[in-house]
């Protein structure tokens, strides 16, 4: 069983953390992953930096630009992760835009992920229909879970389709926004969270975008299976360095 | 071979809609509506009327006598430079503002590089009384001060794109992010034949007025609709798409695309996407684009601010891959010389983008009785400072 599905089966609300590989410095990748696991994080999204991250707000954009300037590449990331499974047990997901994966070769990319022990991928600009038609077989051949996004604007019919194609969880974008832009959740989000909860989807939902502290984490996980924090964690790294990861995680739950 | 977009939004291997889920409802709304809107009689009537009375169409098809003599062939210039706002860009913004109105949108966003599309968008927003926000790279804002001032005077807000390389591709990213953040009330007017389906097709259809007019104008002047060649410069490719459109299936018409070689195709400072690019994804479509081996999009260079885009529209990638169009690349120096030549032979100062197309005569010989139509996509007023610096005028 894929580590993601095992984790989803646990009777707890999951905390997942996104960080951009190669930021703050090129060689931080492994330390950050190990410290996140030690701090009790349930799952990690490793961001493969891209020059043109059009779904991301300023924080993740800037960390991506910095990571690329630091020299991060797809090959270097795979080298850094080569022996990651010797020390880390929680699910690891690579999150990145489609073009770098396409240039590496989708089959080769997936094969490498399997070899390393990556459990899944999140590719915001690979649409579900395109995936279903051209890439699903490849992902499944290598036992990878592909995670799709839904937003408050996604129709019920489309959510049903996304649910049917998903084999792990659904990434529930909290509001109509790029990453890192909202502050706090209001009635709009609560209505949306409840609407999705009432759809009785087969895939658990993990909420992302706009989660930055204990309050938003608690709100997001009232109906959702868990929540993902990205921009707020990157801001913490920018301001406090990699030494105090544990403090940040403790402040969330 | 078909050169029309298929029902999935592809031209052969290129196109599609590689967009984050957050954009899906916006793009899907447009995809389902655009052809119906464009076919409504009331839309057509308003569009045609505005092109005629406001833009000043039809733009002349001018027989360039002295240029023809010099290169011993028959050269016609399609005078898009005489349109209101000085370039072909307005054909598309008129069309899209009418689409936006039909969709009930009350806020317009756009990206711009040199500022021509930004000005054309700000113009139609002023015309319709609709709020307009134009994203422009921070570096371009400094390089293109007169166009920034024009947009402001027209009532638009110009927002600097401060991310990445701070130029056109980043302005496009910022506009896309704005659209993600404002999914209900906003329409995004893309200025070139790029972006997720249906944009390349919609922009191409709005620009296709160029080749539609060439056909009847040529019949009047030469007694036949089809020239031997149609020639256009290509950045993202909107004027080229419009110039080619009604000739794509006419096998006797040679299609020529001229890209910006910058300081030379292999100089490291170039925008010749067909020569330097590989298949990839940029701004929501699969097309040829300039990138590192690792799939990071690189920053192109051309003396012409309207041609330094790292990709080309998916239609053009298809025309390149299938061999339907012949691609040339022209250096800064050759383009500038061609711009000066046209000014002094015909009394027309062209935009530097269009000067690239005019430089074709260095690379290709035509027969004396060939009819060669070149799209003069814009006028050179906006480029005067560049011409002054270059020629020490």
Tens digit of each residue's pLDDT (9 = 90 or more) over B171-214: 999 999 999 999 899 999 999 999 999 999 999 999 999 999 99
- The yes-or-no verdict on residue A184 having pLDDT over 90 is no
Q: How far apart are CA B218 and CA B372, in angstroms?
A: 11
- Residue A182: pLDDT band (50, 70, 90) is low
**Substitution target from A50, A51, A156 for chain B, most B beta carbons within 10 A:** A51
- The yes-or-no verdict on residue A181 having pLDDT over 80 is no
What was the pLDDT predicted at A215? 94
What was the pLDDT predicted at A55? 93
What was the pLDDT predicted at B234? 97
- Residue A253: pLDDT band (50, 70, 90) is confident
Helical residues (DSSP H) of B107-167, grouped into ranges: 116-128, 138-143, 145-153
- Residue A176: pLDDT band (50, 70, 90) is confident
In terms of Cβ atoms closer than 10 Å to its own Cβ (0-12, 13-18, 19+), residue A39 is middle
Q: Mark the ranges of chain B whose per-residue pLDDT is less than 50.
A: none
Strand order across the B254-262 sheet:
B61-63, B74-79, B371-376, B229-233, B254-262, B325-331
- The yes-or-no verdict on residue A178 having pLDDT over 90 is no
DSSP per position, B325-372: EEEEEEEHHHHHHHHHHHHHHHS--B-HHHHHHHGGGGT----TT-EE
**Counts for chain A of helices (H) and strands (E), in that order:** 13, 8
**Does pTM surpass 0.90?**
yes
Options B89, B102, B286, B382, the catalytic residue: B89
DSSP E strand boundaries for B45-138: 61-63, 74-79, 107-112, 131-137
> Do B22 and A153 make contact, defined as CB atoms within 8 angstroms?
yes
What was the pLDDT predicted at B148? 96
Q: Measured between CA atoms, how close is A72 to chain B, in angstroms?
A: 10
- Residue A188: pLDDT band (50, 70, 90) is confident
What was the pLDDT predicted at A180? 83
Q: Measured between CA atoms, how close is B132 to chain A, in angstroms?
A: 20
CB atoms within 10 A of CB B371: 22
Residues A24, A69 contacting (CB under 8 angstroms): no
Q: Which residues of B touch A153 (CB under 8 A)?
A: 22, 24-25, 183
This complex has an ipTM of 0.94
């Amino acid at each position: 069983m894929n580590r993601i599905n095992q984790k989803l089966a646990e009777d707890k609300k999951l905390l997942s953390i996104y960080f951009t590989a190669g930021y703050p410095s090129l060689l931080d990748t492994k330390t950050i992953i190990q410290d996140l696991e030690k701090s009790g994080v349930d799952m990690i999204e490793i961001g493969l930096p891209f020059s043109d991250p059009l779904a991301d707000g300023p924080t993740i954009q800037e960390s991506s630009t910095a990571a690329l300037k630091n020299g991060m590449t797809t090959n270097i990331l795979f080298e850094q992760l080569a022996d990651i499974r010797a020390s880390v047990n929680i699910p690891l997901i690579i999150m990145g835009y489609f073009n770098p994966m396409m240039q590496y070769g989708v089959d080769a990319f997936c094969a490498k992920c399997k070899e390393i022990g990556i459990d899944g991928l999140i590719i915001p600009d690979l649409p579900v229909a395109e995936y279903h038609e051209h890439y699903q077989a490849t992902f499944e051949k290598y036992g990878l879970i592909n995670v799709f996004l839904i937003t408050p604007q996604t129709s019920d019919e489309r959510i049903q389709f996304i649910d049917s194609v998903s084999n792990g969880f659904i990434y529930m974008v909290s509001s109509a926004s790029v990453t890192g832009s909202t502050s706090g959740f209001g009635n709009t989000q609560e209505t949306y969270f409840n609407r999705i909860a009432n759809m009785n989807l087969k895939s658990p939902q993990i909420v992302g975008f706009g989660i930055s502290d204990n309050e938003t984490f608690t709100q997001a996980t009232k109906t959702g299976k868990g929540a993902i924090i990205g921009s707020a964690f990157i801001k913490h790294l920018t301001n406090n360095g990699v030494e105090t990861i544990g403090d940040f995680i403790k402040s969330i739950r | 071979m078909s050169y029309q977009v298929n029902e999935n939004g592809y031209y052969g291997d290129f196109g599609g809609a590689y967009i984050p889920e957050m954009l899906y409802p916006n793009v899907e709304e447009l995809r389902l509506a655009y052809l119906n809107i464009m076919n409504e009689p009331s839309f057509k009537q308003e569009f045609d009327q505005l092109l005629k009375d406001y833009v000043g169409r039809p733009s002349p098809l001018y027989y360039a006598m002295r240029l023809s003599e010099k290169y011993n062939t028959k050269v016609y210039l399609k005078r898009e430079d005489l349109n209101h706002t000085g370039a072909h860009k307005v054909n598309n913004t008129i069309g899209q503002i009418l689409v936006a109105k039909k969709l009930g949108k009350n806020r317009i966003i756009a990206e711009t590089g040199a500022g021509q599309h930004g000005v054309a968008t700000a113009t139609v927003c002023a015309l319709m009384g609709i709020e307009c926000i134009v994203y422009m790279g921070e570096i371009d804002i400094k390089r293109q001060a007169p166009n920034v001032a024009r947009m402001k005077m027209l009532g638009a807000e110009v927002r600097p794109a401060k991310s990445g390389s701070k130029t056109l591709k980043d302005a496009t990213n910022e506009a896309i992010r704005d659209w993600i953040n404002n999914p209900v009330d906003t329409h995004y007017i893309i200025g070139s034949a790029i972006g997720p389906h249906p944009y390349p097709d919609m922009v191409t259809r709005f620009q296709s007025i160029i080749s539609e007019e060439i056909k009847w104008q040529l019949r009047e002047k030469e007694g036949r609709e089809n020239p031997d060649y149609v020639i256009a410069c290509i950045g993202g490719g909107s004027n080229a798409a419009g110039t080619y459109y009604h000739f794509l299936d006419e096998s006797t018409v040679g299609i020529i695309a001229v890209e910006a070689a910058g300081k030379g195709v292999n100089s490291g400072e170039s925008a010749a996407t067909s020569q330097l690019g590989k298949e990839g994804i940029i701004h929501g479509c699969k097309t040829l684009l300039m990138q590192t081996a690792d799939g990071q999009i690189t920053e192109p260079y051309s003396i012409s601010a309207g041609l330094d885009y790292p990709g080309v529209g998916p239609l053009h990638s298809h025309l390149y891959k299938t061999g339907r169009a012949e691609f040339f690349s022209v250096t800064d120096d050759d383009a500038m010389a061609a711009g000066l030549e046209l000014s002094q032979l015909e009394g027309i100062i062209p935009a530097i983008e269009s000067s690239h197309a005019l430089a074709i005569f260095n690379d290709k010989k035509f027969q004396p009785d060939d009819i060669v139509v070149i799209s003069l996509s814009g006028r050179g007023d906006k480029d005067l400072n560049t011409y002054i610096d270059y020629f020490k005028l």
